[in-house]
Amino acid sequence: MKANKEYILEMLKASKRLDGRALDEMRPIKIEIGISENAEGSARVTIGDTVVLAGVKMATAEPYSDSPDKGVMTTSAEFMPCASHKFEGGRPGEVEVELARVVDRGIRGSECLDFEKLCITPGEKVWLSFLDILVLDHDGNLIDAAGIAAAAAFLDAKFPALDSEGKVDRSVPLTDKKLPMAGIPLAITVRKINGVLMLDTTEAEEEAVGARVTITTKDNGNITSIQMGGIGGFTDAEISEAAKITEKTAKKLRDGAFKKAF
């Protein structure tokens, strides 16, 4: 692994990558929706050799007392042991917790999902949406893949039917009513390795260490969440540059892979 790391750093000096991509070039992306019969909405996202699944399940619950007229969303992420020898299963570690929280904040901050429309009876009953993210195959750039899958799963999702007592009725198919998801919030990560900013890193590239910044933008280009991580620092000029790159890349995805899938 070490020789690989030194080689990657050496190539980066000439702005070259192992797989021949440009620094700001994503690997081929595929979004497949409706991949699970039993989910209210689901998606499989493939970026190069990275595969991530996202699914949305709905339930009803009492609202929180401080937001009686708003639905609730919870996000979990699990890195399956089959995805990498580095993953062990069990209670979510800090990497999984961070990924889930970054994706969650990106969607929440964008207000693309209308929580008020997830209210059934104010103060009594609201929709509770569970977003579950599963990493099936890990070749880097997991946050972006997870964010894309999450947005696609919500766009794909339809409400289940309620029975006469107002409980979710699983004996009938889903209704035709889509979840109130307007727009596509997308988290894009820029990594800095040896002073070079790059997009869509592979696992080997991520092994070469470096800091990252993930910036979520919504359709109008506004930023709805930022998360820096990894080891290292950015100058403020690099942060501004990363914001430009992520906005452009998210737009390209909305106009490309998302258009194709929906």
Partner 1 sequence: MSEKKSGKRPDGRAYNDMRPVKMQVGVLKHANGSAYVEFGKTHVYASVHGPKKVHPRHMEDGEKAILRCRYNMIPFSVNDRKRPGYDRRSVEIAKVISEALQPMVFLEEFPKSAIDIDLEITQADAGTRVAALTAASLALADAGIPMRDLVAAVAAGRANGEILLDLTKEEEDAKDAVDMPVAMTHRDNKVMLLQMDGDMSREDLNQMLIVAKEGCAELAKMQKAALREKYKVE
Note the residues at the interface with partner 1 (CB under 8 A): 92, 94-95, 97-98, 100-101, 105, 109-111, 213, 218, 221-236, 239-240, 243-244, 247
Write the CA distances from 3 to 8, 21, 141, 204, integer angstroms.
Answer: 9, 20, 21, 11
- On the 0-12 / 13-18 / 19+ scale of CB atoms within 10 A, 208 is buried
- CA dist 89 and 78 (Å) reads 8
Count Cα neighbours of 56 within 13 Å in the Cβ-side half-sphere. 31
CB of 190 to partner 1, least distance (A): 12
Rounded distance between C-alpha atoms, residue 64 and residue 149, angstroms: 27
Q: How far is the CB of 58 from partner 1 (least distance, A)?
A: 22
- Measured from the CB atom, the residue of 34 and 180 that comes closer to partner 1 is 180
- 42, 149 contact by CB (below 8 A): no
Cα 113 from Cα 117, distance rounded (Å): 9
Taking the complex as a whole, the smallest distance from the CB of residue 125 to partner 1 amounts, in Å, to 23
Residue whose C-alpha is closest to residue 157's, from 117, 186, 188, 123: 117
- Give me the least distance between CB of 243 and partner 1, in Å please: 5
Query: Measured from the CB of residue 70, what is the shortest distance to partner 1 in angstroms?
Result: 14
Q: Nearest distance from residue 157's CB to partner 1, in Å?
A: 23
The DSSP annotation for 157-221 comes to: -BPPEE-TTSSEETTS---SPBP-B-S--EEEEEEEETTEEEES--HHHHHT--EEEEEEE-TTS
